[in-house]
Amino acid sequence: MSSEDKRTSPIGVFDSGIGGLTVYKALRAALPHEDFIYLGDTAHLPYGTKSPEAVLQYTVQAARELMENNIKLLVIACNTATAVALPSLPSLLEDLPCLGVIDPGAQAAAKTSITGRIAVLATEGTVKSGAYAAAIKHYRPDAHIQMLACNLLVALVEEGWSDGAEADAIISRYLSMLQPDFDVLVLGCTHFPLLASTIRKHLPASVQIIDSASTTAIAVETFLVRNDLLRVGTEVGKTSFYVTNAPERFERLAERFLGYDINVENREPTNSYAART
């Protein structure tokens, strides 16, 4: 494939469900001329409570699905999949470039914290992997890190309950389980930024919230420039949305978050499918 062909190839974005749209939205804003293909593996949601073996299997299956569309880069917009599967992907995917969401978020947290005391809300799978703590320690060896598994927050987002009494009660309960000495809170699941405004209400004003969407977008843009893969031009890029189950539900929640109508088509996980906005 020529360099020009690579530059005009789409970027694949993969998540277990709707949470990865936080990353997609940041990518679309930062890279308006790129084409994207978004895959939400809603048939296997949630990933955070699955075994590492299952998460790796689902991630590789989704990545190969996206590779059929000749993607130039795979963005793993799921913290659990990043933690569990990303290290194994290059050897399993014919050296397809893959970027995850943990390292950019960890780097931002380490840089932002004044005290070095950092709390991370994540899924059970991400917490058990130790990937976030290791990444933060890489950038800030003196960091004191609290990790808390918050699986119910994924369910809140997938139900569209990002605010209201239920969200307030559950978020308040989770935050009460942390030692209140942190000055940075990392939203270590791409679903959690959809709850950011509610989470903010339960934190001191001095605590900085880090989500990996904007930091991942910066990392992706840097990668594309360094590898001569950035698509240039004046046309706005197109996006194809893929799901493996319940397209109507995904479409309804996605439109609320994105602020515009999209078309989503459902296919079995092993089939090719796409719908364009």
Q: What is the predicted pLDDT for the residue at 212? A: 87
98 is catalytic: no
What CATH architecture is 3-100+215-266?
3-Layer(aba) Sandwich (3.40)
Q: What is the predicted pLDDT for the residue at 51? A: 94
Give yes or no on whether 3-100+215-266 and 102-212 have one common fold.
yes
φ/ψ of residue 184, rounded to 5: -135, 130
Q: Above 70 in pLDDT, residue 271? A: no
Q: What is the predicted pLDDT for the residue at 276? A: 43
- Extract the runs of DSSP E, i.e. beta strands, from the chain: 11-15, 36-40, 73-76, 98-99, 117-122, 144-149, 184-187, 208-211, 239-243, 265-266
pTM of the model: 0.90
Q: What is the predicted pLDDT for the residue at 146? A: 98
150 is catalytic: no
Alpha carbon distance 161, 164 (integer Å): 7
Confidence label for 269 from pLDDT (cuts 50, 70 and 90): low
pLDDT per residue over 20-78, tens digit each? 999 999 999 999 999 999 999 999 988 988 999 999 999 999 999 999 999 999 999 99
Q: Which residue has the higher pLDDT, 148 or 18?
A: 148
Confidence label for 270 from pLDDT (cuts 50, 70 and 90): low
Catalytic residue from among 56, 76, 78, 219: 78
Q: Which of 31-35, 176-180, 225-229, 264-268 has the lowest mean pLDDT?
A: 264-268
Q: What is the predicted pLDDT for the residue at 233? A: 85
Q: In the CATH scheme, what is the code of domain 102-212?
A: 3.40.50.1860
Query: What is the chain's mean pLDDT, rounded?
Result: 92
Domain ranges of the chain: 3-100+215-266, 102-212
pLDDT per residue over 70-117, tens digit each? 999 999 999 999 999 999 998 898 889 999 999 999 999 999 999 999
Confidence label for 204 from pLDDT (cuts 50, 70 and 90): very high
Q: Above 70 in pLDDT, residue 277? A: no
Alpha carbon distance 245, 240 (integer Å): 16
Catalytic residue from among 39, 189, 199, 213: 189
Confidence label for 2 from pLDDT (cuts 50, 70 and 90): low
Residue 10 DSSP one-character state: P
Q: What is the predicted pLDDT for the residue at 272? A: 40
pLDDT per residue over 113-163, tens digit each? 999 999 999 999 999 999 999 999 999 999 999 999 999 999 999 888 988
Alpha carbon distance 45, 158 (integer Å): 9
β partners of residue 37: 12, 240
